[in-house]
Structure 1
Amino acid sequence: MQNAKGVNRIARPKLLVDEVIRAIRGMIVEGRVLPGERLSENALANELGVSTTPVREAIALLRKEGLVTVQPQSGTYVFELQPGELEQLCELRFALEPAAIQLALDDPQSGLAASLATIVKKMETAHSENRVQDYLALDTEFHETIIAAANNPYITSAYALISAKMAALRNRLGRDPHHMKKSKREHIEIANAIRERDLSKATRVLVSHIARKEGSYWEHLDPDNPQRLLNFTDTR
């Protein structure tokens, strides 16, 4: 059953807090609540059909993911990107995702190439049918699949610190048609390079994809230092 905002009310499972976390995370990632918007524990509890206790616990955990900020004596707010934060997020991706690809290619049992081929096919279909929300969800799945293929819990844990925030940023900022066209092409190139076991090409395209500047949504996010990401890719 859905409420007026289209949010599914939650039955009471054993792991209620986990369900509440997923629900509120989905609201933020999918843009159903806006950057800087104040979140009311009472309103969320009412929308989800639960008490305020699991909502309060969920907010504490979502704060660790960087999806909400808590301002003392003011309230809880949906995160807003801070100056320089995008570079920091991307720098962590520069470290983790190429390493994950290398580990996957070193593992003869890895099914990364086949998994990415399936995701890319779905991305092409979603793009051709203008299903933007589905495309962006598959974009997130593509990169999370790379991380999972490393089969390294430390890499997975490190990426988990930013994965939800990156998914939210894709939904907020990744809808520009030019950006999506380039995104689709680059995901295809990365998947093909991994299928061909070409680590150098896969890494090169991936790093360019993460740090892309031209015709995309990155430029206005760091007005204090617009060249930092571009310079990073030039030196790799």
Structure 2
Amino acid sequence: MLLENTTKRKTENNREYIYRVIKDNIMTLKLKPGECISEVELGNCLNVSRTPIREAIVRLSEEKLIDVFPQKGSFVSKINLGLVEEAVFLRILCEKKLLEIACNDPNSQELIKELEKNIAYQKIIIDFDEDHHKFFDLDNQFHSLIFEYYNKNNIWKSVKRLATHYDRLRLIDALEITNTPKIFEQHIEIIDTIKNKKLDQIDSLVSSHLSKFKDVITKYIEKYPEYFS
């Protein structure tokens, strides 16, 4: 078993370390939907005992990222489209409201500046066909900047906890590069909406931006049928 991001941080105990490593590898698709989770292999790979591994598996099963079947074993949860829809619903509600706040904010210049810096990095990824994992990270950062600017960090964390199935689907989309140019264009539109106080465009823009995966979901189910429940 080859895992990424396995360097233990100074602030982590074994429980935190194992939980983070397993979750990170699930969210980056290094551990693929439906893949068997071997406690023995994880223990050998991370050089830890099986007790904290089991604790991490229980925690991740509660977060719907691992399915535990008695007598069969533990498996990375397949992408559940019902959970994807719930996450999209929540994000649309939150992000519409935040854009309304930004459009009505006379002091949004610093936010616009940070968003434009993020966009500049996104353009580099696109222009030079760089690592699209990085584009996905920048996409997440773009939206988190708006939450953070208006002191909604805890709401963003709650959204991300609910959005694990949605985010794995988004990552597949990013790596396929199907929607990347459109995502980039819509990010520019979001900045323009804030700059020019285009309140009337918020509903359609946010809904389109967060639901664009629906146009290609059939393609992904056909290409990766083992990834979906």
Hey, what's the Cα distance between the residues in 2 that align with 1:134 and 1:122? 9
Secondary structure of the structure 2 residue equivalent to 1:96: helix
Helix, strand or coil at the partner of 2:67: strand
Q: Separation in 2 of the partners of 1:168 and 1:50?
A: 27
Change (3 A) 1:12 1:128: closer
In 2: Cα distance, 1:179 partner to 1:122 partner? 17
Once the two structures are overlaid, the 10-residue window that deviates more, 58-67 or 181-190, is 58-67
TM-score when scaled to structure 2?
0.79
Alpha-carbon deviation of 1:174?
A: 2.9
Aligned equivalent of 2:54, options 33, 53, 56: 56
Letter in 2 for 1:211: S
The equivalent of 1:39 in structure 2 is 37
Deviation of residue 195 (structure 1)? 3.1
Q: Which residue pairs with 1:119 in the alignment?
A: 118
Q: Equivalent residue of 1:175, what SS? A: helix
Q: Which residue does 1:134 correspond to in 2?
A: 134
1:22 aligns with 2:20: yes
Q: Offset of 1:185 from its aligned partner? A: 0.9
Unmatched tracts of structure 2, length 5 or more: 223-229
> How big is the shift at 1:35?
0.9
Question: Are the aligned partners of 1:67 and 1:78 in contact in 2 as well (CA < 8 Å)?
Answer: yes
Counterpart CA distance in 1 for 2:154 and 2:11 is 28
- Residue of structure 1 in register with 2:225 after alignment: none
- The separation in 2 between residues aligned to 1:166 and 1:193, in whole angstroms, is 25
Pick closer, same or farther for the CA change 1:5–1:193 going to 2, 3 Å: same
Shift of the alpha carbon at 1:127? 1.2
- Structural mapping, 1:88-107, within 5 Å: 88-105=86-103
TM-superposed CA distance for 1:109, in Å, is 6.2
Give ranges in structure 1 of 5+ residues lacking alignment: 224-236
Looking at structure 2, the residues matched to 157 and 30 of structure 1 have their Cα atoms a distance apart, in angstroms, of 18
Normalization by structure 1: what TM-score?
Answer: 0.77
Tell me which amino acid in the other structure corresponds to 1:5.
L
Alignment match, 1:159: 159
| 8 Å contact from structure 2 (residues 87, 163) kept in 1 | no
RMSD: 2.9
Aligned 8 A contact 2:33 2:77 in 1: yes
Structure 1 pair 220/86, CA: closer, same or farther in 2 (3 Å)? farther
From 4, 9, 12, the equivalent of 1:7 is: 4
Q: Report if aligned partners of 2:83, 2:166 keep a CA contact under 8 Å in 1.
A: no
Query: Is the 1:37–1:78 contact (alpha carbons within 8 Å) kept by the matching residues of 2?
Result: yes
State the shift of 1:160 in Å. Answer: 2.9
Question: How has the CA–CA distance of structure 1 residues 108 and 21 changed in structure 2, closer, same or farther, with 3 Å as cutoff?
Answer: farther
